[in-house]
Amino acid sequence: MDKLSIHNEDEAIELLKKIVEGYDIGEAGLIEFVSWPKFVIHIKGTDFDGTIPTRIMPTLLDLQKEVHRVYCIATYGDENLRRLTKKDREQLELMVKINKGSSIFETLLQDPVLKILKDAADKMTPAQLTATIIIFGLSVTSILFWKYWLNKRVKEKELDQTVALSRLEKEKMEVIQRAMEQFPSGRIASEGFNNVRDDLLTKLKTTDNLEISTEYAEAEGSAESVNISGQQAGRLTQVTRERAVEKMIKGEFFLRSADFSRPEGVRVVVESISDNYAFGADVPLGVLEDTQIESLKNNSWNKQNIKMDVLVKELHGRYTSAKIISVGNRNQP
């Protein structure tokens, strides 16, 4: 069987389609990648005129980390980067080309991809290995993946700035999604780069502009590209503040301590008998009857369990506030 050469995105997707449809590609070593995949971004801004802001460096390091991660997935079957040897890291190292006023960052992933093909050949089937590498390469370099990710983020943030996909792009995405369903390792390999995208957008200032393209000609920019302004990036990456959920909990508690000296009300520390979760709670003035306050005092002295109704606010599995609404005796129903 003749060697198959992949020079660009279209050839990669065409081979991926054949693999999904059951095409026998022979040995993984018969696949070669020529000048593809190539990661290219163009950032414009006052900080990108002959200089490279250090805030951009972590994104490039994260890209290197994703290459390491895919190598470990393909070669060792897991994402443990500690498996990498010094030689592995040297051979997987990315070289970033910076030109045009230090605003265009270009990284060719060809050599790391070929190393993955070689070293993982006996760990995956040729189809599985090739599909995994192609999906990863597309996720890093394809404008299509950027559009797909941007639309997903827009939907999550409920923004009105959808990026349109052509009919051909939709067909390509369908092929990729079918491949990720058939080869889960490809989906896992591609997912990590979403964090790199997100991180890159958080590094942009409002006056910056990010352009993603597969190639850059001598002339400015490319006809096929995606542009994201710093203001758009801010909206896409803005963290929505999560709110605590208010709810009533009822149960039996152990009273660890109680402070009756506070003028604004009693402060207690209790431990839930059901799950041993301890938390502080307030007893606001005027909420409990005198008999209930007396019950609290007795239990703080006797170190006995007590039934209580507590109004709490919960966030990430922790109570951010708690107020005791009712106190009963242990033997009460």
Show the domains of the chain with their CATH numbers.
4-237 (no CATH), 245-328 (2.40.50.140)
Cα gap 171→168, rounded to integer Å: 5
Structure tokens at 34: 């020529």
Once rounded to an integer, what is the mean pLDDT over residues 80-106? Answer: 84
Mean pLDDT of the chain: 84
CB neighbourhood size of 234 (10 A): 14
Cα gap 173→142, rounded to integer Å: 11
Once rounded to an integer, what is the mean pLDDT over residues 46-68? Answer: 85
228-238 pLDDT per residue, tens: 989 888 888 87
Share of the chain above pLDDT 70, in %: 91
**What is the model's pLDDT at position 331?**
45
Structure tokens at 90: 């040297």
**What is the model's pLDDT at position 218?**
36
Quote the DSSP letter at residue 244: P
Strand duo 278-284 + 265-272: pairing = antiparallel
Is the pLDDT score of 154 beyond 50?
yes
Whether the predicted model's global pTM rises above the 0.75 cut: no
pLDDT confidence band for 289 (50 / 70 / 90): confident
pLDDT confidence band for 54 (50 / 70 / 90): confident
**What is the model's pLDDT at position 115?**
92
Structure tokens at 265: 């009300």
Look at the block and give the residue holding tokens 């020079």: 7
Once rounded to an integer, what is the mean pLDDT over residues 55-64? Answer: 88
Is the pLDDT score of 171 beyond 90?
yes
pLDDT confidence band for 28 (50 / 70 / 90): low
Strand duo 305-315 + 245-259: pairing = antiparallel
Once rounded to an integer, what is the mean pLDDT over residues 28-44? Answer: 85
Q: DSSP 3-state assignment of 1?
A: coil
pLDDT confidence band for 312 (50 / 70 / 90): very high
**What is the model's pLDDT at position 242?**
65
Is the pLDDT score of 217 beyond 80?
no
**What is the model's pLDDT at position 316?**
75
pLDDT confidence band for 295 (50 / 70 / 90): confident
